[in-house]
Chains A and B, each alone.
Chain A
Amino acid sequence: MSKSSLRTLARDLTVAFRLVSRNVTSFAWAMFGILIVTAIMVGLLIFFVTIPIILTYGIQFLVWLITLVETSWTATSGTVLLGILFIIFLPLLLPVFVALGALYGMAREIVESEGTSASGVFTWYRAKFLSLAGAGVLQFVLIVGPLMPLSYFVPDIIMGNITTEMMALIVMVIIVWVVFSSGFLSLTFPGVIDNLSVVKAARRSISLSRKHVDRVFGIWLTFILVFAFAALPTILGVVFQWFSSIDNEIIIAYSILMLILLLLVVLPAMSIAQTRAYLILSAQSDQSFEPNHEADEFVRGGTYQ
Chain B
Amino acid sequence: MNPEVSKKPMRDFEVVTDPKVIKLLLDTTRADIVFKYLVQGEMTVKQLADAMRKKPGTILHHVQKLKDAGIIVLARTRETPTGIIERYYRATAKEYRLGISEMLGVQQIISQTIDDRVSSIVSGLWVYGIRIPPEERQTAKKLLKNLVQREEKLRDEVPVLSEKEHESLPPALRSDLADVVRQYALHKDPQYRILLEEWYALLMKYHSDS
A299–B76 Cα distance when bound, in Å, is 6
Interface assignment of B83: CB less than 8 Å from any CB of chain A: yes
Q: Of A115, A196, A283, A295, which is within 8 A of B77 by CB?
A: A283
Contact with B along A187-202 (1 / 0, CB 8 A): 0000100111000100
A124 to chain B, nearest CB (A): 8
A285–B82 Cα distance when bound, in Å, is 22
A282 touching B46, Cβ below 8 Å: no
A303 touching B80, Cβ below 8 Å: no
Say whether, besides A109-B60, A112-B46, A299-B76, A305 and B2 are in contact (CB < 8 Å): yes
Report the nearest B residue to A12, measured CB to CB.
B83
B87 surroundings in chain A (CB, below 8 A): 112, 279, 301
Interface assignment of B64: CB less than 8 Å from any CB of chain A: yes
Q: Of B6, B56, B68, which is within 8 A of A109 by CB?
A: B56
A200–B1 Cα distance when bound, in Å, is 8
Say whether, besides A111-B84, A280-B85, A299 and B60 are in contact (CB < 8 Å): no
Say whether, besides A276-B83, A280-B85, A304 and B74 are in contact (CB < 8 Å): yes
Interface residues on A, range: 35 or more
B5 touching A287, Cβ below 8 Å: yes
Report the nearest B residue to A108, measured CB to CB.
B60
Q: Classify the secondary structure of A's interface with B.
A: helix
Interface assignment of B81: CB less than 8 Å from any CB of chain A: yes
Contact with B along A90-132 (1 / 0, CB 8 A): 0000000000000001001101111111001001000100000
Number of B residues contacting the other chain (C-beta, 8 Å)?
37
A200 to chain B, nearest CB (A): 6
Interface assignment of A297: CB less than 8 Å from any CB of chain B: yes
A109 touching B79, Cβ below 8 Å: no
Say whether, besides A15-B83, A112-B87, A301-B74, A204 and B56 are in contact (CB < 8 Å): no
Interface residues of A in 143-159 (CB under 8 A from B): none
Of the listed residues A113, A279, A283, A302, the one surrounded by the most CB atoms of chain B closer than 10 A to its CB is A113
A303 touching B73, Cβ below 8 Å: yes
Q: Of B64, B79, B83, B88, which is within 8 A of A195 by CB?
A: B64
Chain A to chain B contacts (Cβ below 8 Å), 13 pairs: A105-B57, A112-B60, A113-B46, A113-B84, A123-B57, A280-B79, A282-B2, A296-B78, A301-B87, A301-B88, A302-B4, A302-B73, A304-B4
- What 8 pairs between A and B have smallest CB-CB spacing? A15-B83, A113-B56, A303-B6, A302-B5, A283-B77, A301-B77, A113-B46, A304-B3
Q: Which residues of A are at the interface with B, using a C-beta cutoff of 8 A? A: 11, 14-15, 18-19, 105, 108-109, 111-117, 120, 123, 127, 191, 194-196, 200, 204, 207, 276, 279-280, 282-283, 285-287, 293, 295-305
